[in-house]
């Protein structure tokens, strides 16, 4: 049976996208054997089958009688299992009721669907009317039990994106314990790759770091209960010599916001096993007879033209098939956030003053950040008390919001639903709602504890609170924060044998609450946040079309943070604001132009007190706000080019219109220096003529791209320039 992108012929499966192919076959023993992932191949193109050699200490499955060359330890596999004789890291490990750790999955059949398949309670790429996606489901059964696995492959051909996930079903009569269920395993035919991961810490997230992948494993992960500031759940694997614009590379991006593990390791046959999924540490899931477990989705892609093309695949699919709701595609309201303007120190007159000044600057929304509820005058208390502090707000939340709206602004609000302070009415009423290990003092972080999101009663209560707040304030926007890692993974409501399910159930609980809220307030714009970018992942983007990128608002640091973020996530999802100088986090002062031009590469807004601005700065802000409205369409929907990395003297990026009509280039001088080389340009139509008014120059796209761009004046350190190249005709046209 054959569809546009999925071919299934005599046990051979090929998934084709515009420029890529992925191939595996079900061998004579029913094992799905990986054959190829790379540049597009004709379906009938011959490929060498993996060699079968009798290698010492690599045994043969019990049902393979006299073929000593056949070993699961050496075959490239689609779903390698622990206890099957494959000693490499597995994708699946399960323990049967008798204590045996064993699984050996053999194919039973397959099904092809002409649409993308949603995953229950989990984020997943969705199909649209003219781009429905396609799905291949391969069903496998354990040789020694009634445990089934459904390998789910999604195809988004236009964006060159595949998805992988797996559902484990216990169709037997006794329980099974899942010790490890990853979402993806792929054995790439390469032994010389490098892994680029996006690493950091609080307030310095997603800096690319590259290491060789050899027999010594390259591995990243998080066991913090959120995807983390420290390692983003997305990584690249590259062939030697691959660059931004050339060479072969693969990208893997986990649509999940909790604990994860990602690894790549060369095996004895010279292939690289790539794994990605929920971290097995602190994970144990009990499957009763009749129950099933769905692993979250991985997005994967291949590029033969370097990392930039790979990024375009991910940007396109995230924008069109992951982010949801009316705001996913729309220009977001230009906002002023109260956090760096006032922190906890505000009252009604202060908020109204902020709103008035914001309105005068052309700002469209005031976001009331932390500090508006309960007795929240500092970060030590009141999380969970989701009712207005009428003393600070000078009345009800609804009244304040109405006054702000009367000034011509929209209204936005901050919440941190998954947390609880011990000094709160909520904790006094429900101490057992906090995640804590009995008889041990809980680990406190930012002075707060984590709410037990695994509990339906906790989520119902949170939903009711959020519903009331949103209903009363008619808020247009909600900032959803999360300010600590999860350490005391214990729920008073889970039985001991299910405590290993805490971390995953926590994330499922958060997704459930977000989904209910989205359904109740479909027009609400939600911005994800986790002390900045500690949960900046494709999982959250399914619920929140933008995420606060980092608590570091220093524009120079942001050049690096936003650069790393751009490898997988489009600019439309990147929360970026202009803040005051000296910067609250780094103490650095940089020109307002630089701060604005860096923030323009994201959702754009402000995080400062307008009362402290000079008249000149106010004029500049008025100009930048107008520019935001002119440029944001391009930033949100255009094609992003990383022209020069932050480690260079001049960092530069650009957004190109999809119809070739213009290119908006931003250049920031990162280091003091003398003349820097011209910035290479991409994204122009070689045959069109483009004028750069700022430089007073007109050239063909080909000429611009060959010569590069020389900024009109010497930029001093941390100065920036924004240059627009506009198409003025085709080659051959008279000017």
Instruction: List, by residue number, the catalytic residues.
Output: 537, 617
Beta carbon of residue 203, minimum distance to ligand DGJ (angstroms, whole number): 9
Single residue of 16, 78, 104, 370 touching ligand DGJ by CB under 6 A: 370
Cis-peptide into 103, omega within 30 deg: no
> How many CB atoms neighbour CB 581 within 10 A?
19
In the region spanning residues 600 to 629, those forming contacts with ligand DGJ, defined by CB under 6 A, are: none
Beta carbon of residue 606, minimum distance to ligand DGJ (angstroms, whole number): 13
User: How far is 40 from 16, CA to CA, in rounded Å?
Assistant: 7
Tell me which residue has its CB nearest to ligand DGJ: 370
Beta carbon of residue 681, minimum distance to ligand DGJ (angstroms, whole number): 35
In the region spanning residues 507 to 566, those forming contacts with ligand DGJ, defined by CB under 6 A, are: 529, 531-532, 548, 551
Nearer to ligand DGJ, 206 or 279 (CB): 206
Beta carbon of residue 259, minimum distance to ligand DGJ (angstroms, whole number): 21
Q: Are β-strands 546-548 and 525-528 bridged in parallel, bridged antiparallel, or unpaired? A: parallel
Among 552, 599, 558, CA closest to 577: 599
Half-sphere exposure of 120 (CA within 13 A, CB side): 5
Cα torsion through 185, 191, 196, 197, rounded to 10: 40
Beta carbon of residue 325, minimum distance to ligand DGJ (angstroms, whole number): 21
First-to-final CA distance of the chain? 56
Residues 6+ apart with CB under 8 A from 282: 223, 259, 489, 500, 502, 503
Total of chain residues touching ligand DGJ, rule CB under 6 A: 11
In the region spanning residues 658 to 697, those forming contacts with ligand DGJ, defined by CB under 6 A, are: none
In the region spanning residues 316 to 335, those forming contacts with ligand DGJ, defined by CB under 6 A, are: none
For residue 425, count CB atoms less than 10 angstroms from its CB and return exposed for 0-12, middle for 13-18, buried for 19 or more: middle
Give the DSSP H or E segment for 729.
strand 720-730
Binding mask 455-484 for ligand DGJ (x = CB under 6 A): --------------------------x-x-
563 φ, ψ (degrees, to nearest 5): -60, -50
User: Cβ(652)–Cβ(644) under 8 Å?
Assistant: yes
User: How far is 487 from 443, CA to CA, in rounded Å?
Assistant: 7
Nearer to ligand DGJ, 78 or 552 (CB): 552
Beta carbon of residue 369, minimum distance to ligand DGJ (angstroms, whole number): 5
Nearer to ligand DGJ, 142 or 370 (CB): 370
Nearer to ligand DGJ, 103 or 462 (CB): 462
User: How far is 5 from 392, CA to CA, in rounded Å?
Assistant: 59
Q: For 226-273, what is the HEC assignment?
A: CCCCCEEEEEEEECCCCCCCCECEEEEEECCCCCEEEEEEECCCCCEE
In the region spanning residues 58 to 117, those forming contacts with ligand DGJ, defined by CB under 6 A, are: none
Single residue of 24, 148, 231, 414 touching ligand DGJ by CB under 6 A: 414
Beta carbon of residue 127, minimum distance to ligand DGJ (angstroms, whole number): 34
Among 30, 42, 57, 220, CA closest to 138: 30
> How many CB atoms neighbour CB 577 within 10 A?
25
Single residue of 86, 248, 316, 369 touching ligand DGJ by CB under 6 A: 369
Beta carbon of residue 569, minimum distance to ligand DGJ (angstroms, whole number): 17
Signed CA dihedral, 420, 512, 518, 325: sign only = positive
Give the DSSP H or E segment for 622.
helix 615-637
Nearer to ligand DGJ, 104 or 481 (CB): 481
The first and second tokens of residue 9, run together, are: 């012929």
Q: Are β-strands 688-692 and 231-238 bridged in parallel, bridged antiparallel, or unpaired? A: unpaired
Burial state string for 648-687 with b = 16 or more CB within 10 A and e = fewer than 16: bbbbbbbbbbeebebbbbbbbbbeeeeebeebbbbbbbee
Among 346, 471, 361, CA closest to 407: 361
Nearer to ligand DGJ, 14 or 485 (CB): 485
Nearer to ligand DGJ, 146 or 380 (CB): 380
Among 103, 218, 123, 220, CA closest to 169: 103
Nearer to ligand DGJ, 369 or 554 (CB): 369
Single residue of 126, 153, 339, 568 touching ligand DGJ by CB under 6 A: 339
Nearer to ligand DGJ, 80 or 533 (CB): 533
Half-sphere exposure of 122 (CA within 13 A, CB side): 24
Signed CA dihedral, 611, 613, 615, 617: sign only = negative
User: How far is 160 from 309, CA to CA, in rounded Å?
Assistant: 10
Among 587, 586, 631, 577, CA closest to 609: 577
Beta carbon of residue 558, minimum distance to ligand DGJ (angstroms, whole number): 14
Among 350, 363, 374, CA closest to 407: 363
Beta carbon of residue 551, minimum distance to ligand DGJ (angstroms, whole number): 4
> How many CB atoms neighbour CB 696 within 10 A?
8
3-state secondary structure of 318: helix
Nearer to ligand DGJ, 413 or 657 (CB): 413
Beta carbon of residue 677, minimum distance to ligand DGJ (angstroms, whole number): 37
Nearer to ligand DGJ, 418 or 551 (CB): 551
User: How far is 718 from 720, CA to CA, in rounded Å?
Assistant: 6
Nearer to ligand DGJ, 314 or 477 (CB): 477
User: Cβ(650)–Cβ(388) under 8 Å?
Assistant: no
For residue 11, count CB atoms less than 10 angstroms from its CB and return exposed for 0-12, middle for 13-18, buried for 19 or more: middle
Beta carbon of residue 480, minimum distance to ligand DGJ (angstroms, whole number): 10
Nearer to ligand DGJ, 383 or 720 (CB): 383
Beta carbon of residue 279, minimum distance to ligand DGJ (angstroms, whole number): 24
Residues that bind ligand DGJ (CB under 6 A): 339, 369-370, 414, 481, 483, 529, 531-532, 548, 551
């Amino acid at each position: 049976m054959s569809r546009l992108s999925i071919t299934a012929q005599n046990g051979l499966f090929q998934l084709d996208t515009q420029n890529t192919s992925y191939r595996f076959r079900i061998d004579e023993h029913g094992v799905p054997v990986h054959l190829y992932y790379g540049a597009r191949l004709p379906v009938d193109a011959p490929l060498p089958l993996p060699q079968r050699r009798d290698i010492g200490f690599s045994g043969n499955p019990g049902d393979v009688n006299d073929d000593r060359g056949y070993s699961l330890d050496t075959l490239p596999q689609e779903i390698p299992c622990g206890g099957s004789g494959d000693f490499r890291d597995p994708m699946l490990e399960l323990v049967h009721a008798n204590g045996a750790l064993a699984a050996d999955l053999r194919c039973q059949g397959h099904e092809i669907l002409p649409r993308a398949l949603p995953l229950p309670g989990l984020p997943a790429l969705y199909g649209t009317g003219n781009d429905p996606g396609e799905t291949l489901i391969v069903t496998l059964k354990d040789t020694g039990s009634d445990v089934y696995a459904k390998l789910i492959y999604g195809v988004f051909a236009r964006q060159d994106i595949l998805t992988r996930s797996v559902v484990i079903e216990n169709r037997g009569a006794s329980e099974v314990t899942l010790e490890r269920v990853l979402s993806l395993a792929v054995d790439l035919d390469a032994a010389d790759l490098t892994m680029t991961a996006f690493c950091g810490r609080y307030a310095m997230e997603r800096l690319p770091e590259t290491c060789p992948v050899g027999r010594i494993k390259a591995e990243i992960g998080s066991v913090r209960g959120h995807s983390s500031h420290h390692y983003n759940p997305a990584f690249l694997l590259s062939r030697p010599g691959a660059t931004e614009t050339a060479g072969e590379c693969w990208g893997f991006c986990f649509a999940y916001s909790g604990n994860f593990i990602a690894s790549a390791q060369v095996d004895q046959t010279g292939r690289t096993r790539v794994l990605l999924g929920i971290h097995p540490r602190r994970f144990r899931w009990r499957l009763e007879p009749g129950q099933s477990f769905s692993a979250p989705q991985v997005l994967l892609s291949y590029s033969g033209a370097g990392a930039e093309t790979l990024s375009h695949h991910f940007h396109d699919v995230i924008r069109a098939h992951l982010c949801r709701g009316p705001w996913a595609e729309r220009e977001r309201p230009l906002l002023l956030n109260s956090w760096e303007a006032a922190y906890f120190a505000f009252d009604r007159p202060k908020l109204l003053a902020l709103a008035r000044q914001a309105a005068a600057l052309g700002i469209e929304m005031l976001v009331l950040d932390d500090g508006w509820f309960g007795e929240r005058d500092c970060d030590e208390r009141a999380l969970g008390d989701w009712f207005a502090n009428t003393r600070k707000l000078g009345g009800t939340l609804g009244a304040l919001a109405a006054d702000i709206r009367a000034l011509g602004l929209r209204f936005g609000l901050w919440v941190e639903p998954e947390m609880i302070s011990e000094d709160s009415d909520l904790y006094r009423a429900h101490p057992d709602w906090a995640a804590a290990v009995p008889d041990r003092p809980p680990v406190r972080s930012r002075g707060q504890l984590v709410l037990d999101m695994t509990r339906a009663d906790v989520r119902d209560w949170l939903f009711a609170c959020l519903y009331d707040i949103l209903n009363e304030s008619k808020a247009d926007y909600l900032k959803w924060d999360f300010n600590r890692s999860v350490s005391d993974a214990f729920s008073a409501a889970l039985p001991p044998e299910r405590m290993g399910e805490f971390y995953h159930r926590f994330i499922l609980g958060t997704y459930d609450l977000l989904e209910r809220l989205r359904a109740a307030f479909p027009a609400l714009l939600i911005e994800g946040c986790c002390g900045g970018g500690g949960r900046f992942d494709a999982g959250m983007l399914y619920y929140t079309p933008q995420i606060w990128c980092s608590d570091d608002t220093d524009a120079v640091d942001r050049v690096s943070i936003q650069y790393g973020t751009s490898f997988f996530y489009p600019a439309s999802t990147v929360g970026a604001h202009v803040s005051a100088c000296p910067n609250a986090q780094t103490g650095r002062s940089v020109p307002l132009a630089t701060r604005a031009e860096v923030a323009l590469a994201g959702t754009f807004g402000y995080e400062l007190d307008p009362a402290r601005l000079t008249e000149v700065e106010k004029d500049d802000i008025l100009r930048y706000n107008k520019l935001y409205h002119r440029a944001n369409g391009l930033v949100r929907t255009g094609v992003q080019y990383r022209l020069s990395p932050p480690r260079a003297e001049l960092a530069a990026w650009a957004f190109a219109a999809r119809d070739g009509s213009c290119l908006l280039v931003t250049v920031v001088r990162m280091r003091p220096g003398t003349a820097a080389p011209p910035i290479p340009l991409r994204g122009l139509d070689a045959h069109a003529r483009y004028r750069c008014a700022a430089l007073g120059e007109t050239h063909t796209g080909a000429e611009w791209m060959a010569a590069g761009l020389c900024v009109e004046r010497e930029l001093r350190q941390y100065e920036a320039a924004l240059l627009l190249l506009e198409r003025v005709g085709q080659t051959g046209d008279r000017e």
